[in-house]
Chain A
Amino acid sequence: QKEVEQDPGPLSVPEGAIVSLNCTYSNSAFQYFMWYRQYSRKGPELLMYTYSSGNKEDGRFTAQVDKSSKYISLFIRDSQPSDSATYLCAMSSGYSSASKIIFGSGTRLSIRP
Protein backbone atom coordinates (compact mmCIF):
# COMPACT_ATOMS: atom_id res chain seq x y z
CA GLN A 1 0.00 0.00 0.00
CA LYS A 2 1.31 3.46 -0.90
CA GLU A 3 1.76 5.97 1.91
CA VAL A 4 -0.25 8.52 -0.07
CA GLU A 5 -3.11 7.62 -2.40
CA GLN A 6 -4.56 10.02 -4.95
CA ASP A 7 -7.15 9.36 -7.64
CA PRO A 8 -5.37 9.98 -10.97
CA GLY A 9 -8.50 11.14 -12.78
CA PRO A 10 -8.80 12.58 -15.32
CA LEU A 11 -11.49 14.80 -13.90
CA SER A 12 -13.42 17.02 -16.32
CA VAL A 13 -15.88 19.66 -15.10
CA PRO A 14 -17.61 22.69 -16.66
CA GLU A 15 -16.35 26.18 -16.01
CA GLY A 16 -17.76 27.65 -12.80
CA ALA A 17 -18.17 24.31 -11.06
CA ILE A 18 -16.80 23.51 -7.61
CA VAL A 19 -13.98 21.01 -7.81
CA SER A 20 -13.00 18.64 -5.01
CA LEU A 21 -9.63 16.89 -5.10
CA ASN A 22 -8.66 14.40 -2.42
CA CYS A 23 -5.83 12.34 -0.99
CA THR A 24 -5.70 9.69 1.69
CA TYR A 25 -2.63 8.68 3.63
CA SER A 26 -1.55 5.99 6.04
CA ASN A 27 1.26 7.59 8.07
CA SER A 28 -0.19 9.23 11.20
CA ALA A 29 3.10 11.11 11.71
CA PHE A 30 2.40 13.45 8.78
CA GLN A 31 1.97 17.01 10.05
CA TYR A 32 2.60 19.18 7.00
CA PHE A 33 0.25 19.03 4.04
CA MET A 34 0.68 20.69 0.67
CA TRP A 35 -0.99 20.96 -2.69
CA TYR A 36 1.05 21.57 -5.81
CA ARG A 37 -0.24 22.51 -9.24
CA GLN A 38 1.61 21.33 -12.35
CA TYR A 39 0.86 22.69 -15.78
CA SER A 40 1.84 20.66 -18.83
CA ARG A 41 5.60 20.76 -19.50
CA LYS A 42 6.24 22.69 -16.28
CA GLY A 43 7.49 21.88 -12.82
CA PRO A 44 5.11 21.63 -9.85
CA GLU A 45 4.43 24.89 -8.03
CA LEU A 46 3.14 25.26 -4.49
CA LEU A 47 -0.53 26.16 -4.27
CA MET A 48 -1.46 25.64 -0.61
CA TYR A 49 0.40 24.69 2.57
CA THR A 50 -1.19 23.74 5.89
CA TYR A 51 0.10 22.48 9.19
CA SER A 52 -1.87 19.89 11.17
CA SER A 53 -5.67 19.77 10.95
CA GLY A 54 -8.18 22.38 9.85
CA ASN A 55 -9.01 24.54 6.87
CA LYS A 56 -7.05 27.17 5.01
CA GLU A 57 -8.50 29.47 2.39
CA ASP A 58 -6.71 31.44 -0.33
CA GLY A 59 -8.95 33.13 -2.85
CA ARG A 60 -10.90 30.47 -4.74
CA PHE A 61 -8.89 27.66 -3.13
CA THR A 62 -9.57 25.93 0.19
CA ALA A 63 -7.38 23.22 1.68
CA GLN A 64 -8.87 20.94 4.30
CA VAL A 65 -7.08 18.43 6.53
CA ASP A 66 -8.82 15.74 8.59
CA LYS A 67 -6.11 13.93 10.51
CA SER A 68 -8.56 11.65 12.29
CA SER A 69 -9.59 10.21 8.91
CA LYS A 70 -6.16 10.65 7.31
CA TYR A 71 -7.82 12.56 4.50
CA ILE A 72 -7.00 15.87 2.83
CA SER A 73 -8.95 17.85 0.27
CA LEU A 74 -8.50 20.79 -2.05
CA PHE A 75 -11.61 22.69 -3.14
CA ILE A 76 -11.63 25.05 -6.10
CA ARG A 77 -14.60 27.44 -6.32
CA ASP A 78 -15.73 29.09 -9.54
CA SER A 79 -13.34 26.94 -11.55
CA GLN A 80 -11.69 28.51 -14.59
CA PRO A 81 -10.13 26.98 -17.72
CA SER A 82 -6.79 28.26 -16.39
CA ASP A 83 -7.18 25.83 -13.46
CA SER A 84 -6.71 22.93 -15.89
CA ALA A 85 -3.59 21.18 -14.65
CA THR A 86 -2.40 18.20 -12.64
CA TYR A 87 -2.76 18.64 -8.87
CA LEU A 88 -0.40 16.78 -6.56
CA CYS A 89 -0.86 16.42 -2.83
CA ALA A 90 2.25 16.15 -0.69
CA MET A 91 2.90 15.59 2.98
CA SER A 92 5.70 15.33 5.49
CA SER A 93 6.21 14.47 9.14
CA GLY A 94 8.70 17.26 9.74
CA TYR A 95 11.74 19.05 8.48
CA SER A 96 14.53 17.04 10.02
CA SER A 97 16.97 15.16 7.84
CA ALA A 98 15.00 11.96 8.55
CA SER A 99 11.75 13.37 7.17
CA LYS A 100 10.92 13.34 3.51
CA ILE A 101 8.08 14.78 1.50
CA ILE A 102 5.85 12.12 0.00
CA PHE A 103 3.88 13.06 -3.11
CA GLY A 104 0.64 11.65 -4.41
CA SER A 105 0.64 10.54 -8.03
CA GLY A 106 -1.46 13.57 -9.09
CA THR A 107 -5.00 14.17 -10.37
CA ARG A 108 -5.37 15.54 -13.89
CA LEU A 109 -8.09 18.22 -13.96
CA SER A 110 -9.70 19.72 -17.04
CA ILE A 111 -12.12 22.68 -16.88
CA ARG A 112 -14.39 22.88 -19.93
CA PRO A 113 -15.25 26.42 -21.10
Chain B
Amino acid sequence: DADVTQTPRNRITKTGKRIMLECSQTKGHDRMYWYRQDPGLGLRLIYYSFDVKDINKGEISDGYSVSRQAQAKFSLSLESAIPNQTALYFCATSDLIVQYFGAGTRLSVL
Protein backbone atom coordinates (compact mmCIF):
# COMPACT_ATOMS: atom_id res chain seq x y z
CA ASP B 1 0.00 0.00 0.00
CA ALA B 2 1.14 3.54 -0.73
CA ASP B 3 2.58 5.61 2.12
CA VAL B 4 0.60 8.66 0.97
CA THR B 5 -2.86 8.11 -0.48
CA GLN B 6 -4.82 10.76 -2.32
CA THR B 7 -8.48 10.56 -3.27
CA PRO B 8 -9.91 10.99 -5.80
CA ARG B 9 -7.25 10.39 -8.47
CA ASN B 10 -9.23 12.29 -11.08
CA ARG B 11 -12.05 14.80 -10.74
CA ILE B 12 -14.00 16.92 -13.17
CA THR B 13 -16.17 19.64 -11.69
CA LYS B 14 -17.98 22.79 -12.76
CA THR B 15 -17.22 26.41 -11.97
CA GLY B 16 -18.62 27.44 -8.60
CA LYS B 17 -18.77 23.97 -7.09
CA ARG B 18 -17.17 23.15 -3.76
CA ILE B 19 -14.87 20.16 -3.82
CA MET B 20 -12.61 18.41 -1.36
CA LEU B 21 -9.43 16.49 -2.03
CA GLU B 22 -8.36 14.07 0.65
CA CYS B 23 -4.98 12.83 1.76
CA SER B 24 -3.90 10.23 4.29
CA GLN B 25 -0.43 9.00 5.19
CA THR B 26 0.99 6.01 7.02
CA LYS B 27 4.54 7.35 7.45
CA GLY B 28 3.78 8.60 10.97
CA HIS B 29 5.10 12.07 10.12
CA ASP B 30 3.77 15.26 11.67
CA ARG B 31 4.32 17.48 8.63
CA MET B 32 1.93 17.51 5.67
CA TYR B 33 1.68 19.67 2.57
CA TRP B 34 -0.53 20.45 -0.39
CA TYR B 35 1.00 21.49 -3.73
CA ARG B 36 -0.30 22.17 -7.19
CA GLN B 37 1.72 21.44 -10.29
CA ASP B 38 1.25 23.29 -13.56
CA PRO B 39 3.33 22.88 -16.73
CA GLY B 40 6.37 25.17 -16.64
CA LEU B 41 5.64 26.35 -13.10
CA GLY B 42 6.75 23.34 -11.13
CA LEU B 43 5.38 22.59 -7.68
CA ARG B 44 3.82 25.47 -5.81
CA LEU B 45 2.94 25.24 -2.13
CA ILE B 46 -0.70 25.88 -1.24
CA TYR B 47 -0.83 25.07 2.49
CA TYR B 48 1.27 23.19 4.99
CA SER B 49 0.83 21.85 8.49
CA PHE B 50 3.58 20.94 10.94
CA ASP B 51 1.23 19.32 13.41
CA VAL B 52 -2.50 18.89 14.00
CA LYS B 53 -2.90 22.36 15.53
CA ASP B 54 -0.62 24.14 13.06
CA ILE B 55 -1.86 25.34 9.65
CA ASN B 56 0.09 27.75 7.46
CA LYS B 57 -0.53 29.40 4.11
CA GLY B 58 1.83 28.72 1.26
CA GLU B 59 2.56 30.93 -1.71
CA ILE B 60 -0.79 30.39 -3.49
CA SER B 61 -3.44 29.86 -0.79
CA ASP B 62 -6.13 32.18 -2.20
CA GLY B 63 -9.24 30.21 -3.14
CA TYR B 64 -8.22 27.18 -1.07
CA SER B 65 -8.73 26.02 2.50
CA VAL B 66 -7.46 23.01 4.44
CA SER B 67 -8.37 20.88 7.40
CA ARG B 68 -6.01 18.71 9.44
CA GLN B 69 -8.35 16.13 10.90
CA ALA B 70 -5.64 13.98 12.48
CA GLN B 71 -1.90 13.43 12.27
CA ALA B 72 -2.48 11.19 9.28
CA LYS B 73 -5.16 13.17 7.44
CA PHE B 74 -4.99 16.50 5.63
CA SER B 75 -7.71 17.63 3.23
CA LEU B 76 -7.79 20.47 0.71
CA SER B 77 -11.00 22.28 -0.24
CA LEU B 78 -11.82 24.54 -3.12
CA GLU B 79 -14.72 26.62 -1.82
CA SER B 80 -15.89 27.80 -5.24
CA ALA B 81 -13.89 26.21 -8.02
CA ILE B 82 -12.74 28.29 -10.99
CA PRO B 83 -11.17 27.15 -14.29
CA ASN B 84 -7.66 28.39 -13.42
CA GLN B 85 -7.63 25.91 -10.54
CA THR B 86 -7.39 23.15 -13.14
CA ALA B 87 -4.10 21.45 -12.24
CA LEU B 88 -2.42 18.40 -10.79
CA TYR B 89 -2.58 18.45 -6.98
CA PHE B 90 -0.13 16.64 -4.73
CA CYS B 91 -0.18 15.90 -1.05
CA ALA B 92 3.12 15.24 0.71
CA THR B 93 4.39 14.39 4.15
CA SER B 94 7.84 14.79 5.67
CA ASP B 95 9.84 14.13 8.79
CA LEU B 96 12.14 17.17 8.67
CA ILE B 97 13.41 17.74 5.13
CA VAL B 98 12.66 14.87 2.77
CA GLN B 99 9.12 14.87 1.41
CA TYR B 100 7.10 11.83 0.34
CA PHE B 101 4.41 12.46 -2.23
CA GLY B 102 1.11 10.89 -3.11
CA ALA B 103 0.24 9.92 -6.68
CA GLY B 104 -1.69 13.13 -7.27
CA THR B 105 -5.22 14.25 -8.09
CA ARG B 106 -5.88 15.52 -11.59
CA LEU B 107 -8.56 18.21 -11.27
CA SER B 108 -10.40 19.83 -14.14
CA VAL B 109 -12.73 22.77 -13.56
CA LEU B 110 -15.04 23.43 -16.47
Identify the A interface with B (CB < 8 A): 6, 8, 32, 34, 41-46, 49, 88, 90, 92, 95, 97, 100-101, 103-106
Please give the number of chain B residues whose Cβ is less than 8 angstroms from any Cβ of chain A in the complex: 22
Instruction: Flag if B41 contacts A105 (CB, 8 Å).
Output: yes
Question: Which of B63-71, B74-82, B101-109 forms contacts with chain A?
Answer: B101-109
Measured between beta carbons, the chain B residues less than 8 angstroms from A44 are: 43, 90, 99, 101
Set A42, A46, A100, A103: member contacting B98, Cβ < 8 A: A46
21 A-B residue pairs with CB within 8 Å: A41-B103, A43-B4, A43-B90, A43-B103, A44-B43, A44-B90, A44-B99, A44-B101, A45-B100, A46-B100, A49-B97, A49-B98, A88-B43, A90-B99, A95-B96, A97-B54, A100-B45, A101-B97, A103-B42, A105-B41, A106-B42
Instruction: Flag if A32 contacts B97 (CB, 8 Å).
Output: yes
Measured between beta carbons, the chain A residues less than 8 angstroms from B43 are: 44, 88, 103
Identify the B interface with A (CB < 8 A): 4, 40-43, 45, 48, 50, 54, 56, 58, 90, 92, 96-104
